Structure 1
């Protein structure tokens, strides 16, 4: 079977020469279609494409490395061609065939065929283990220079291919790097060299998510958390992003939310990133960490008032007005819902003229998740012990079209809790409907603020 390499080539008086010697007449000549046939043994039996990195299996059949690795990773234990069980999964580079393919590409370069570059040799597990042992030793001796050199190797290997990254992670790199980060954080005065190494360690850890339990344990230590907050405040944009993403990874584990809650300076930094975002990634991660802290069963009751005192309620409302990003709106509504769960948060939200109109506006506007948070938040505002507060919230919600939207929520379907609260809200609003004009939510950017 032959493989057709098709290309369009201009006739004898080519594109450039025709312009130069024939006054551009060649530009109007018809294109000729020429076909090159790739030798069959240059093709991968799986993809039927020219092999870039031919490797031979124990069955004696040669495949392109990327294709056969994907085949084996899918759980196959046989040779695709012979269908026999492989005695070994070793992939031996076929240097002779690769050289032949490269020579063929070079010979046909005049026809537009590009020479296949010599592939990088994938990193081996024993190489990764050796470097990780070196990092552990350098951490114990607080040898920053040696550790930086070895971490650089990990970064270099990881940047070469996805296969290398999988190999590095599978051999326990995240635990070793997190242990090193903890060690240097505890012994660092945050000098230029020390900060640089800490940033390198975070950079490598950021492509190893999700981190394993051991890695999270070291990163949740007091010295590590203090160092992460220091980087949030003093690092460059990349360091800040890596640090807040690590915190986001930690905050998803209930075991570490309490440690995060008692980390000095973290709350102020998160609020600063939410109010004045450096980039979208940092803002989203900051909202996620804040949401996890407020929602935590260990410390959530204490965290809400802390963020409320920092005027986060009004800042979230500003974000919901201005942002059109779906993920940002979902996270902001989630945090707002958590803040309204405490009495101080409800008072702040109730005092802000934007709260009810924005919550009603976001219902059925962003996503199912956003709708649920908006409905639950609206219920918390309307379900008040004070009769006056409750009546004012219900009337205000009716005036901006909440009744119609809640009916639609029940029709299109939602989570059980949101459905239950929507039904209760409709019952609470019903006595106040007479004489009130129900209108659709409008753009509230020009509405007078109460702060």
Structure 2
């Protein structure tokens, strides 16, 4: 079969593979449907160019199925034993029309019982992860319609279709943000966040409670990731209370929140914790306490642990944050135990947290606790391990600052302490 010569006109000019679904564009050139759709969607802000003729082609141009060529390819594949025939024999996918999506948007603007079916259709289009689908959806204003729908749900306390709306918005929001600037949505960012806050606070006895939480967290992470500092400074305490409540439920295993939902919640907290105002709100909501519980009880991966330690470091930059960490019976022990067990990021943040505690909150009780939970021994090990030089420098500084207190303790070898301090 390696010696079989494939007819040139069976080959897609873009993928250089046998075409499975040949379509012809306005320039008269035939391409495989998937390849030309991806090509036309590359630049959503201007017309694309035909790869062969170099002529301008509208992204909205029709893709006409070439049934004759498709049948020839099928016949040739059968005759030559090419496995690609199984895929070629599948029916030609009908082209998605922008008018079809526009009609869905118009249907959604009229309150009626069929709205759920409309939302389900939009969600299916978004889940296909097709660039052209997303382009059409943004161009006809699907994001605006869904934002309106979500706000109306919030204003009326109506949860019908809420899960579908949140899911679809979370799937297309990043694409919308990267391609378009839309003041209509930006001007309603605050009430949109209020709507998501409401969704996060819904009754946990709802049948789709966990899915709503997961989709809401995903959408909120996308919004926060693109928000300016002014928007971040105006975030309300209720939002952080709801997010921390989700972490509390995950840490206590009282409800099933997906790993992605937990990571989205942690990203939101991390991206907003650089503001002093937000840090104070988080600490008042017992964020540090819940993060420690989450780290201890939630079956998390390396990335989740890194997010937790990065947040803890930010929150421990203020006195109330350090006090809250020390108030947890396992606070220092958990920080110590994870050193040299997870990743270099966790090592760095853990040492920095211990530095902040011993520099600003070093009571006699705290220093003795660090001996009991073997923090001092672990710090000595860090200096011997293959860690970054700046992490080792911080560890040495930490030992030097409290050498006089720790040198007489039976919990640590004086020779080791003396050597590294």
Q: Give yes or no for the alignment of 1:227 onto 2:199.
A: yes
> What CA distance in whole angstroms lies between the structure 1 residues aligned with 2:232 and 2:66?
50
Cα–Cα, structure 1 residues 249 and 204, in superposed 2: closer, same or farther, change >3 Å? same
Q: Give yes or no for the alignment of 1:100 onto 2:64.
A: no
What is the aligned length? Answer: 389
Q: How does 1:270-309 map to 2 (within 5 A)?
A: 270-276=247-253, 278=256, 279-292=258-271, 294-307=273-286
Measured against aligned partners, the alpha-carbon deviations of 1:362-382 in whole angstroms (never above 9, x if no partner) come to: 334323332332122111221
Q: How does 1:109-258 map to 2 (within 5 A)?
A: 113-114=85-86, 115-135=88-108, 137-138=109-110, 143-160=111-128, 162-171=130-139, 172-188=141-157, 190=158, 195-210=159-174, 212=177, 214=185, 217=189, 220-230=192-202, 234-236=206-208, 237-252=210-225, 253=227, 254=229, 255-256=231-232, 258=234
1:428 aligned partner? 401
- Shift, 1:168, TM fit: 3.7
Cα–Cα, structure 1 residues 228 and 312, in superposed 2: closer, same or farther, change >3 Å? closer
Q: Which moved more, 1:108-117 or 1:326-335?
A: 108-117
Larger radius of gyration: 1
Where 1:281 maps in the other structure, the secondary structure is helix
* TM value normalised by structure 2: 0.75
Q: Give yes or no for the alignment of 1:365 onto 2:344.
A: no
Q: Give yes or no for the alignment of 1:312 onto 2:284.
A: no
Where 1:63 maps in the other structure, the secondary structure is strand
* TM value normalised by structure 1: 0.71
Cα–Cα, structure 1 residues 105 and 367, in superposed 2: closer, same or farther, change >3 Å? farther
Query: Which residues of structure 1 form unaligned runs of 5+?
Result: 7-34, 441-451
Higher RCO, 1 or 2 (CA under 8 Å, sep at least 6)? Answer: 2
Q: In the alignment, which of 377, 392, 403 is matched to residue 380 of structure 2?
A: 403
- Shift, 1:326, TM fit: 0.5
Measured against aligned partners, the alpha-carbon deviations of 1:92-121 in whole angstroms (never above 9, x if no partner) come to: 324333542465279559876324322323
Is the Cα–Cα contact under 8 Å of residues 15 and 35 in structure 2 kept in the other structure? yes
Q: Which moved more, 1:111-120 or 1:431-440?
A: 431-440
1:388 aligned partner? 364
Q: In the alignment, which of 47, 51, 56 is matched to residue 24 of structure 2?
A: 56
1:437 aligned partner? 413
> What CA distance in whole angstroms lies between the structure 2 residues aligned with 1:264 and 1:424?
35
Is the Cα–Cα contact under 8 Å of residues 333 and 375 in structure 2 kept in the other structure? no
Is the Cα–Cα contact under 8 Å of residues 10 and 18 in structure 2 kept in the other structure? yes
Measured against aligned partners, the alpha-carbon deviations of 1:326-382 in whole angstroms (never above 9, x if no partner) come to: 112112223333443444543343355643343234334323332332122111221
Q: Give yes or no for the alignment of 1:329 onto 2:305.
A: yes
2:419 aligned partner? none
Is the Cα–Cα contact under 8 Å of residues 250 and 294 in structure 2 kept in the other structure? no
Is the Cα–Cα contact under 8 Å of residues 313 and 339 in structure 1 kept in the other structure? no
2:332 aligned partner? 356
Cα–Cα, structure 1 residues 413 and 264, in superposed 2: closer, same or farther, change >3 Å? closer
Cα–Cα, structure 1 residues 413 and 120, in superposed 2: closer, same or farther, change >3 Å? farther
Is the Cα–Cα contact under 8 Å of residues 295 and 305 in structure 2 kept in the other structure? no
Q: In the alignment, which of 31, 41, 55 is matched to residue 86 of structure 1?
A: 55
- Shift, 1:388, TM fit: 1.9
Cα–Cα, structure 1 residues 122 and 234, in superposed 2: closer, same or farther, change >3 Å? same
- Shift, 1:413, TM fit: 4.6
Is the Cα–Cα contact under 8 Å of residues 229 and 265 in structure 1 kept in the other structure? no
